[in-house]
Amino acid sequence: MDEPQRRPSQSGTFTTPFSNFRKIVDASGALHFGGKAILHAQGVNFSNGASFAINMSQLQLEDELGKGAYGTVRKVLHKPTNVAMAMKEIRLELDDSKLNAILMELDILHRAVAPEIVEFYGAFFIESCVYYCMEYMDAGSLDKLQAAGVPEDVLARITGAMVRGLKFLKDDLQIIHRDVKPTNVLVNRKGEIKLCDFGVSGQLEKSLAKTNIGCQSYMAPERIKGESQNNVGTYTVSSDVWSLGLSMIEMAIGRYPYPPETYANVFAQLTAIVHGDPPELPEDFSDDSRDFVARCLHKVPELRATYAELLEHPFLQADRGRSVDMPKWVIEALGFREKKLAEERRQKLLHDTSAVQSV
């Protein structure tokens, strides 16, 4: 059978023909998510009564912020309010896992109202593309700001926000994030820290999630082994705590703690995570910070600290009375990144010039 012809979406990417989605798209062009939400060209209506009105004609397309397997993220200006937003475009496919991921993220975003969660402005659907608009965090994700290493006072401030956000998801929404890593933590120039990317988040069912989804290299040992405390699944809240600890070390040293280039293959890397000693913060960090990370990276899931325990840990308690100039750190981190990128461009130009001359 010939592959269905694809055509460009309203923002320029190619999509699968609208006619292929008749089972989930009604005659008016509205997308139905199994009775839980209806997306249409003018916004989204959720089954709990919440609704958000926004549409493409209100948006001025600006810079592309990122592109991944699921789609594109672009900065847009909401013309009626003059508010900058981040618009995620997801090309719809007839794939249950992808549809579930879209619904999961939309459901979490519209219910997760907290200072540590990126704000949701609305969503809409046009001819096989789902678009949703979120708060624009103008400094980007943490992985873009950590190259110089994050100092301890800033690390404490970031970690506190992450723990509060994760605790809110667990306590108020019964949700495990399942993809905790610096890439999924956003920062703005005011120094605010917010969690994002809930496409693989999972509802807590009987205290255990039974699927292995997320970024493999941040998996806790028990996830990699495919085991759990009750041998009926592979994911508990403590797995996110492991990912938190790993993310802290990555921020502190400016690189992933299990660098792939030091292992013969992925299997060797995963074996080190499961059977090797967990990584530690550098010795020039305080005893409290090192103990905090150690409590996150305990090999036995049941012995890892809970979010409530982490919030009461001396490492985060000390941050409550401390003044941290987060906007200054953000500016310095952005400046360091720009210098690094400029140097990489210069080196590439020198390499390319040398290669041409040697021909």
Which sequence positions are flagged as catalytic? 179
299 is in an annotated binding site: no
Largest CA distance in the chain: 67
Q: Give the β-pairing of 193-195 and 51-53.
A: unpaired
Contact 77, 97 (CB under 8 A): no
Helices (H), the chain: 96-111, 152-173, 221-225, 237-253, 266-275, 287-296, 307-311, 314-320, 326-358
User: Which of 91, 86, 72, 73 lies closest to 129, judged by CA?
Assistant: 91
Contact 297, 242 (CB under 8 A): yes
Contact 256, 308 (CB under 8 A): no
DSSP state letters, 90-112 = EE--S-HHHHHHHHHHHHHHHH-
Cβ-based neighbours of 11, under 8 Å, separated by 6 or more: 61, 72, 74, 89, 129
Residue 43 corresponds to which tokens in the numbers above?
């916004």
Q: How far apart are CA 183 and CA 142, in angstroms?
A: 6
User: Which of 224, 210, 211, 214 lies closest to 276, judged by CA?
Assistant: 224
Contact 109, 198 (CB under 8 A): yes
Q: If DSSP codes are grouped into helix, strand and coil, which group holds residue 46?
A: strand
Binding site for ATP, by residue number, is 88
Binding site, by residue number, is 88
